[in-house]
Structure 1
Protein backbone atom coordinates (compact mmCIF):
# COMPACT_ATOMS: atom_id res chain seq x y z
CA UNK A 1 0.00 0.00 0.00
CA UNK A 2 1.55 3.28 -1.16
CA UNK A 3 0.61 6.90 -0.60
CA UNK A 4 0.69 8.64 -3.99
CA UNK A 5 0.48 12.43 -4.11
CA UNK A 6 -1.15 14.75 -6.60
CA UNK A 7 -0.63 18.54 -6.61
CA UNK A 8 -2.25 21.03 -8.98
CA UNK A 9 -2.46 24.77 -9.47
CA UNK A 10 -4.56 26.42 -12.15
CA UNK A 11 -2.11 28.75 -13.89
CA UNK A 12 1.55 28.81 -14.86
CA UNK A 13 2.31 31.77 -12.58
CA UNK A 14 1.04 29.92 -9.50
CA UNK A 15 3.34 27.77 -7.38
CA UNK A 16 2.55 24.27 -6.08
CA UNK A 17 5.70 23.88 -3.96
CA UNK A 18 3.75 24.13 -0.69
CA UNK A 19 1.38 21.37 -1.81
CA UNK A 20 4.28 19.14 -2.82
CA UNK A 21 6.07 19.74 0.49
CA UNK A 22 2.91 18.84 2.44
CA UNK A 23 2.43 15.66 0.40
CA UNK A 24 6.01 14.63 1.19
CA UNK A 25 5.44 15.25 4.91
CA UNK A 26 2.26 13.13 4.68
CA UNK A 27 4.40 10.22 3.47
CA UNK A 28 3.96 10.32 -0.30
CA UNK A 29 6.98 8.81 -2.01
CA UNK A 30 5.67 9.41 -5.55
CA UNK A 31 4.08 12.78 -6.39
CA UNK A 32 2.52 13.95 -9.64
CA UNK A 33 2.08 17.69 -10.19
CA UNK A 34 0.85 20.04 -12.88
CA UNK A 35 -0.28 23.55 -13.69
CA UNK A 36 -3.68 23.11 -15.34
CA UNK A 37 -7.24 24.22 -14.67
CA UNK A 38 -9.28 21.80 -12.60
CA UNK A 39 -12.63 22.61 -14.19
CA UNK A 40 -12.25 19.58 -16.42
CA UNK A 41 -10.28 16.35 -16.39
CA UNK A 42 -9.35 16.83 -20.05
CA UNK A 43 -5.77 17.81 -20.79
CA UNK A 44 -4.49 17.04 -17.30
CA UNK A 45 -1.65 14.74 -18.27
CA UNK A 46 -0.10 14.48 -14.79
CA UNK A 47 -3.46 13.39 -13.39
CA UNK A 48 -3.77 10.77 -16.13
CA UNK A 49 -0.24 9.52 -15.38
CA UNK A 50 -1.07 9.42 -11.67
CA UNK A 51 -4.28 7.46 -12.24
CA UNK A 52 -2.40 4.96 -14.41
CA UNK A 53 0.31 4.61 -11.76
CA UNK A 54 -2.07 3.82 -8.88
CA UNK A 55 -2.50 0.16 -7.89
CA UNK A 56 -4.92 -1.73 -5.69
CA UNK A 57 -4.37 -0.82 -2.04
CA UNK A 58 -2.81 2.58 -2.82
CA UNK A 59 -4.17 5.86 -1.48
CA UNK A 60 -4.27 9.00 -3.64
CA UNK A 61 -3.39 11.99 -1.45
CA UNK A 62 -3.92 15.70 -2.23
CA UNK A 63 -4.22 18.84 -0.13
CA UNK A 64 -7.80 19.89 -0.95
CA UNK A 65 -10.64 18.33 -2.90
CA UNK A 66 -10.60 21.18 -5.45
CA UNK A 67 -7.01 20.26 -6.36
CA UNK A 68 -8.38 16.97 -7.72
CA UNK A 69 -11.59 18.22 -9.36
CA UNK A 70 -13.84 21.28 -9.54
CA UNK A 71 -16.75 19.46 -11.13
CA UNK A 72 -18.78 17.14 -8.91
CA UNK A 73 -19.35 14.89 -11.92
CA UNK A 74 -15.61 14.61 -12.62
CA UNK A 75 -14.94 14.02 -8.94
CA UNK A 76 -17.58 11.31 -8.61
CA UNK A 77 -16.34 9.63 -11.79
CA UNK A 78 -12.75 9.73 -10.53
CA UNK A 79 -13.73 8.34 -7.13
CA UNK A 80 -15.83 5.61 -8.75
CA UNK A 81 -12.95 4.61 -11.06
CA UNK A 82 -10.50 4.62 -8.16
CA UNK A 83 -12.81 2.52 -5.99
CA UNK A 84 -13.08 -0.01 -8.83
CA UNK A 85 -9.27 -0.22 -8.81
CA UNK A 86 -9.21 -0.66 -5.03
CA UNK A 87 -7.67 2.79 -4.50
CA UNK A 88 -8.78 5.13 -1.69
CA UNK A 89 -8.37 8.91 -1.54
CA UNK A 90 -7.34 11.30 1.20
CA UNK A 91 -7.48 15.11 1.35
CA UNK A 92 -5.09 16.60 3.88
CA UNK A 93 -7.03 19.82 4.58
CA UNK A 94 -10.45 18.20 4.84
CA UNK A 95 -11.71 15.19 6.78
CA UNK A 96 -11.76 13.06 3.68
CA UNK A 97 -10.47 9.54 3.82
CA UNK A 98 -12.56 7.16 1.72
CA UNK A 99 -11.31 4.28 3.80
CA UNK A 100 -14.12 5.32 6.20
CA UNK A 101 -17.89 5.78 5.63
CA UNK A 102 -17.70 9.28 7.13
CA UNK A 103 -14.96 10.23 4.70
CA UNK A 104 -17.01 9.01 1.74
CA UNK A 105 -20.05 11.04 2.86
CA UNK A 106 -18.00 14.18 3.44
CA UNK A 107 -16.40 13.78 0.02
CA UNK A 108 -19.80 13.93 -1.67
CA UNK A 109 -20.76 17.09 0.19
CA UNK A 110 -17.49 18.86 -0.57
CA UNK A 111 -17.76 17.97 -4.26
CA UNK A 112 -21.06 19.84 -4.47
CA UNK A 113 -19.54 22.88 -2.76
CA UNK A 114 -16.45 22.89 -5.00
CA UNK A 115 -18.63 22.96 -8.09
CA UNK A 116 -20.89 25.61 -6.53
CA UNK A 117 -17.84 27.79 -5.87
CA UNK A 118 -16.74 27.48 -9.51
CA UNK A 119 -20.20 28.41 -10.77
CA UNK A 120 -20.41 31.42 -8.46
CA UNK A 121 -16.98 32.61 -9.64
CA UNK A 122 -18.08 32.34 -13.29
CA UNK A 123 -21.24 34.28 -12.52
CA UNK A 124 -19.23 37.06 -10.84
CA UNK A 125 -16.83 37.22 -13.79
CA UNK A 126 -19.71 37.59 -16.24
CA UNK A 127 -21.27 40.32 -14.09
CA UNK A 128 -17.93 42.13 -13.95
CA UNK A 129 -17.46 41.91 -17.70
CA UNK A 130 -21.01 43.16 -18.33
CA UNK A 131 -20.43 46.13 -15.99
CA UNK A 132 -17.07 46.93 -17.62
CA UNK A 133 -18.70 46.82 -21.06
CA UNK A 134 -21.44 49.19 -19.88
CA UNK A 135 -18.79 51.60 -18.62
CA UNK A 136 -16.82 51.28 -21.87
CA UNK A 137 -13.81 49.82 -20.09
CA UNK A 138 -14.08 46.42 -21.73
CA UNK A 139 -14.11 46.42 -25.49
CA UNK A 140 -12.78 42.95 -26.09
CA UNK A 141 -10.04 41.92 -28.45
CA UNK A 142 -9.56 43.93 -31.62
CA UNK A 143 -10.58 41.94 -34.71
CA UNK A 144 -7.16 41.34 -36.26
CA UNK A 145 -8.32 39.50 -39.37
CA UNK A 146 -10.96 42.07 -40.30
CA UNK A 147 -8.33 44.81 -40.06
CA UNK A 148 -6.31 42.98 -42.72
CA UNK A 149 -9.17 42.68 -45.24
CA UNK A 150 -7.58 44.91 -47.88
CA UNK A 151 -4.28 43.06 -47.69
CA UNK A 152 -6.12 39.74 -48.01
CA UNK A 153 -8.09 40.90 -51.05
CA UNK A 154 -4.90 42.23 -52.69
CA UNK A 155 -2.97 38.99 -52.11
CA UNK A 156 -5.91 36.89 -53.34
CA UNK A 157 -6.13 39.05 -56.51
CA UNK A 158 -2.41 38.43 -57.05
CA UNK A 159 -3.16 34.69 -57.07
CA UNK A 160 -1.96 33.73 -53.60
CA UNK A 161 -3.82 30.81 -51.99
CA UNK A 162 -5.88 31.37 -48.85
CA UNK A 163 -3.63 29.19 -46.65
CA UNK A 164 -0.58 31.16 -47.85
CA UNK A 165 -2.39 34.45 -47.20
CA UNK A 166 -3.11 33.28 -43.65
CA UNK A 167 0.54 32.42 -43.07
CA UNK A 168 1.78 35.67 -44.60
CA UNK A 169 -0.55 37.82 -42.48
CA UNK A 170 -0.33 35.82 -39.26
CA UNK A 171 -4.01 34.87 -39.02
CA UNK A 172 -5.82 31.56 -39.16
CA UNK A 173 -6.93 30.04 -42.45
CA UNK A 174 -10.52 30.06 -41.14
CA UNK A 175 -10.24 33.82 -40.55
CA UNK A 176 -9.09 34.38 -44.13
CA UNK A 177 -12.05 32.37 -45.46
CA UNK A 178 -14.48 34.25 -43.18
CA UNK A 179 -13.18 37.70 -44.07
CA UNK A 180 -13.06 37.01 -47.80
CA UNK A 181 -16.49 35.34 -47.72
CA UNK A 182 -18.04 38.44 -46.15
CA UNK A 183 -16.27 40.64 -48.72
CA UNK A 184 -17.88 38.81 -51.65
Structure 2
Protein backbone atom coordinates (compact mmCIF):
# COMPACT_ATOMS: atom_id res chain seq x y z
CA UNK A 1 0.00 0.00 0.00
CA UNK A 2 1.23 3.49 -0.85
CA UNK A 3 0.81 5.96 2.02
CA UNK A 4 1.27 9.66 1.28
CA UNK A 5 2.53 12.33 3.64
CA UNK A 6 2.20 16.04 2.86
CA UNK A 7 3.32 18.99 4.95
CA UNK A 8 3.66 22.75 4.70
CA UNK A 9 5.20 24.95 7.35
CA UNK A 10 2.51 27.56 7.95
CA UNK A 11 -1.23 27.96 7.67
CA UNK A 12 -0.94 30.38 4.75
CA UNK A 13 0.48 27.69 2.45
CA UNK A 14 -2.78 25.88 1.78
CA UNK A 15 -2.18 25.91 -1.98
CA UNK A 16 1.16 24.17 -1.50
CA UNK A 17 -0.43 21.53 0.70
CA UNK A 18 -3.21 20.96 -1.82
CA UNK A 19 -0.62 20.55 -4.58
CA UNK A 20 1.23 17.91 -2.57
CA UNK A 21 -1.98 16.02 -1.87
CA UNK A 22 -2.86 16.17 -5.57
CA UNK A 23 0.57 14.85 -6.57
CA UNK A 24 0.44 12.06 -3.99
CA UNK A 25 -2.99 11.04 -5.22
CA UNK A 26 -1.67 10.96 -8.79
CA UNK A 27 1.18 8.72 -7.64
CA UNK A 28 -1.38 6.19 -6.43
CA UNK A 29 -1.40 6.82 -2.68
CA UNK A 30 -4.45 5.16 -1.16
CA UNK A 31 -4.11 6.88 2.20
CA UNK A 32 -2.75 10.41 2.65
CA UNK A 33 -1.79 12.14 5.89
CA UNK A 34 -1.34 15.91 5.73
CA UNK A 35 -0.63 18.75 8.14
CA UNK A 36 0.40 22.38 8.32
CA UNK A 37 3.13 22.60 10.91
CA UNK A 38 6.75 23.70 11.14
CA UNK A 39 9.36 20.98 10.63
CA UNK A 40 10.54 21.72 14.17
CA UNK A 41 7.04 21.40 15.60
CA UNK A 42 5.19 18.28 16.71
CA UNK A 43 4.23 16.51 13.50
CA UNK A 44 1.23 14.46 14.57
CA UNK A 45 0.20 13.49 11.03
CA UNK A 46 3.67 12.07 10.34
CA UNK A 47 3.49 10.06 13.55
CA UNK A 48 0.06 8.79 12.50
CA UNK A 49 1.41 7.84 9.07
CA UNK A 50 4.28 5.89 10.60
CA UNK A 51 1.93 4.15 13.05
CA UNK A 52 -0.49 3.32 10.23
CA UNK A 53 2.15 1.81 7.94
CA UNK A 54 2.49 -1.96 7.87
CA UNK A 55 5.11 -4.35 6.55
CA UNK A 56 5.41 -4.06 2.78
CA UNK A 57 3.91 -0.55 2.62
CA UNK A 58 5.68 2.48 1.15
CA UNK A 59 5.57 5.99 2.63
CA UNK A 60 5.61 8.55 -0.18
CA UNK A 61 6.61 12.23 -0.02
CA UNK A 62 6.97 14.71 -2.88
CA UNK A 63 10.21 16.20 -1.50
CA UNK A 64 12.72 15.19 1.16
CA UNK A 65 12.27 18.39 3.18
CA UNK A 66 8.58 17.53 3.66
CA UNK A 67 9.65 14.48 5.64
CA UNK A 68 12.54 15.74 7.77
CA UNK A 69 14.21 18.87 9.10
CA UNK A 70 17.79 17.61 9.21
CA UNK A 71 20.03 14.70 8.23
CA UNK A 72 19.73 13.31 11.75
CA UNK A 73 15.96 13.59 11.57
CA UNK A 74 15.66 11.83 8.22
CA UNK A 75 17.77 8.91 9.42
CA UNK A 76 15.65 8.67 12.55
CA UNK A 77 12.46 8.46 10.47
CA UNK A 78 14.02 5.96 8.05
CA UNK A 79 15.25 3.74 10.87
CA UNK A 80 11.77 3.62 12.39
CA UNK A 81 10.23 2.70 9.05
CA UNK A 82 12.97 0.17 8.29
CA UNK A 83 12.19 -1.60 11.57
CA UNK A 84 8.61 -1.98 10.35
CA UNK A 85 9.78 -3.18 6.89
CA UNK A 86 8.24 -0.06 5.33
CA UNK A 87 9.94 1.57 2.32
CA UNK A 88 10.20 5.29 1.60
CA UNK A 89 9.74 6.95 -1.77
CA UNK A 90 11.00 10.51 -2.34
CA UNK A 91 9.41 11.56 -5.61
CA UNK A 92 11.49 14.57 -6.67
CA UNK A 93 14.75 12.68 -6.07
CA UNK A 94 13.63 9.43 -7.68
CA UNK A 95 14.53 7.50 -4.54
CA UNK A 96 12.60 4.40 -3.50
CA UNK A 97 14.15 2.44 -0.63
CA UNK A 98 12.05 -0.54 -1.67
CA UNK A 99 14.51 -1.09 -4.53
CA UNK A 100 18.23 -1.94 -4.38
CA UNK A 101 19.07 1.19 -6.39
CA UNK A 102 17.04 3.38 -4.05
CA UNK A 103 18.80 1.93 -1.01
CA UNK A 104 22.16 2.58 -2.65
CA UNK A 105 21.27 6.19 -3.50
CA UNK A 106 20.14 6.84 0.03
CA UNK A 107 23.35 5.36 1.41
CA UNK A 108 25.37 7.61 -0.89
CA UNK A 109 23.39 10.64 0.28
CA UNK A 110 24.03 9.64 3.87
CA UNK A 111 27.74 9.35 3.15
CA UNK A 112 27.80 12.80 1.55
CA UNK A 113 25.98 14.28 4.52
CA UNK A 114 28.47 12.70 6.92
CA UNK A 115 31.36 13.99 4.81
CA UNK A 116 29.92 17.52 4.91
CA UNK A 117 29.54 17.27 8.67
CA UNK A 118 33.16 16.16 9.10
CA UNK A 119 34.34 19.02 6.88
CA UNK A 120 32.32 21.49 8.93
CA UNK A 121 33.83 20.17 12.17
CA UNK A 122 37.32 20.36 10.67
CA UNK A 123 36.79 23.99 9.65
CA UNK A 124 35.47 24.70 13.12
CA UNK A 125 38.56 23.16 14.74
CA UNK A 126 40.84 25.12 12.42
CA UNK A 127 38.98 28.34 13.26
CA UNK A 128 39.33 27.69 17.00
CA UNK A 129 43.04 26.91 16.64
CA UNK A 130 43.59 30.14 14.69
CA UNK A 131 41.61 32.16 17.22
CA UNK A 132 43.68 30.68 20.06
CA UNK A 133 46.98 31.62 18.41
CA UNK A 134 45.67 35.16 17.94
CA UNK A 135 44.41 35.32 21.53
CA UNK A 136 40.78 35.74 20.49
CA UNK A 137 39.36 32.41 21.64
CA UNK A 138 37.47 32.40 24.93
CA UNK A 139 35.72 29.06 24.67
CA UNK A 140 32.09 28.36 25.37
CA UNK A 141 30.36 30.38 28.04
CA UNK A 142 29.70 28.02 30.98
CA UNK A 143 26.08 26.92 31.17
CA UNK A 144 25.93 27.54 34.91
CA UNK A 145 26.86 31.20 34.43
CA UNK A 146 23.54 31.75 32.65
CA UNK A 147 21.53 29.63 35.09
CA UNK A 148 23.21 30.67 38.33
CA UNK A 149 20.25 32.56 39.77
CA UNK A 150 17.95 29.64 39.05
CA UNK A 151 20.37 27.14 40.58
CA UNK A 152 20.68 29.23 43.74
CA UNK A 153 16.93 29.76 44.03
CA UNK A 154 16.21 26.05 43.73
CA UNK A 155 19.01 25.12 46.14
CA UNK A 156 17.78 27.60 48.73
CA UNK A 157 14.32 26.11 48.45
CA UNK A 158 15.79 22.76 49.48
CA UNK A 159 16.03 21.01 46.12
CA UNK A 160 18.65 18.27 45.71
CA UNK A 161 21.39 18.43 43.08
CA UNK A 162 19.62 15.77 41.02
CA UNK A 163 16.34 17.67 41.20
CA UNK A 164 17.98 20.96 40.16
CA UNK A 165 19.75 19.32 37.24
CA UNK A 166 16.55 17.64 36.10
CA UNK A 167 14.42 20.79 36.34
CA UNK A 168 16.95 22.99 34.53
CA UNK A 169 17.94 20.23 32.08
CA UNK A 170 21.63 20.58 32.80
CA UNK A 171 24.18 18.11 34.16
CA UNK A 172 24.41 17.36 37.87
CA UNK A 173 28.16 18.01 37.61
CA UNK A 174 27.42 21.49 36.28
CA UNK A 175 25.21 22.24 39.27
CA UNK A 176 27.76 20.83 41.69
CA UNK A 177 30.61 22.76 40.09
CA UNK A 178 28.71 26.05 40.19
CA UNK A 179 27.77 25.70 43.87
CA UNK A 180 31.32 24.72 44.76
CA UNK A 181 32.74 27.71 42.87
CA UNK A 182 30.60 30.18 44.78
CA UNK A 183 32.09 29.05 48.06
CA UNK A 184 31.06 25.55 49.06
CA UNK A 185 32.81 22.26 49.67
CA UNK A 186 33.35 19.63 46.98
CA UNK A 187 32.92 16.77 49.45
CA UNK A 188 29.73 15.04 50.51
CA UNK A 189 28.44 16.51 53.71
CA UNK A 190 30.57 19.60 53.09
CA UNK A 191 30.16 23.08 54.45
CA UNK A 192 27.74 25.76 53.34
CA UNK A 193 28.67 28.48 50.92
CA UNK A 194 30.42 31.63 52.04
CA UNK A 195 27.11 33.44 52.60
CA UNK A 196 26.00 30.63 54.86
CA UNK A 197 22.71 29.78 53.15
CA UNK A 198 23.49 27.49 50.21
CA UNK A 199 24.72 24.08 51.42
CA UNK A 200 26.43 22.15 48.66
CA UNK A 201 25.36 18.63 49.53
TM range (shorter): 0.5 to 0.7
Alignment TM-score, normalising by the size of structure 2: 0.51
Uncovered stretches (5+) of structure 2, i.e. residues with no partner: 118-201
Query: Is 2:16 aligned against 1:25?
Result: no
- Residue 112 of structure 1 and its aligned partner are, at CA, apart by 3.5
- In structure 2, distance between residues paired with 1:105 and 1:34: 30
- Residue 104 of structure 1 and its aligned partner are, at CA, apart by 2.2
Aligned to 1:44: 43
Aligned to 2:2: 3
Aligned to 1:73: 72
Q: How many residues align?
A: 112
Query: Is 2:95 aligned against 1:86?
Result: no
Aligned to 1:177: none
Map 1:1-184 onto structure 2 (within 5 A): 2-15=1-14, 16-38=17-39, 40=40, 43-108=42-107, 109=109, 112=113
- Residue 25 of structure 1 and its aligned partner are, at CA, apart by 0.6
**Stretches (4+) displaced over 4 A:** none
Secondary structure, counterpart of 1:37 in structure 2? coil
Residues 109-133 of structure 1: CA distance to partner in whole angstroms, max 9, x if unpaired? 17949x99xxxxxxxxxxxxxxxxx
Uncovered stretches (5+) of structure 1, i.e. residues with no partner: 117-184
Structure 1 or 2, whichever has the larger Rg, is 2
The question of whether the paired residues in 2 share the 8 Å contact of 1:95 and 1:106 is answered with no
- In structure 2, distance between residues paired with 1:112 and 1:24: 31
- Residue 93 of structure 1 and its aligned partner are, at CA, apart by 1.1
- In structure 2, distance between residues paired with 1:60 and 1:10: 20
The question of whether the paired residues in 1 share the 8 Å contact of 2:64 and 2:90 is answered with yes
Residues 123-147 of structure 1: CA distance to partner in whole angstroms, max 9, x if unpaired? xxxxxxxxxxxxxxxxxxxxxxxxx
Secondary structure, counterpart of 1:93 in structure 2? helix
| RMSD of aligned Cα (Å) | 2.2
- Residue 37 of structure 1 and its aligned partner are, at CA, apart by 1.4
- Residue 102 of structure 1 and its aligned partner are, at CA, apart by 2.6
The question of whether the paired residues in 2 share the 8 Å contact of 1:11 and 1:37 is answered with yes
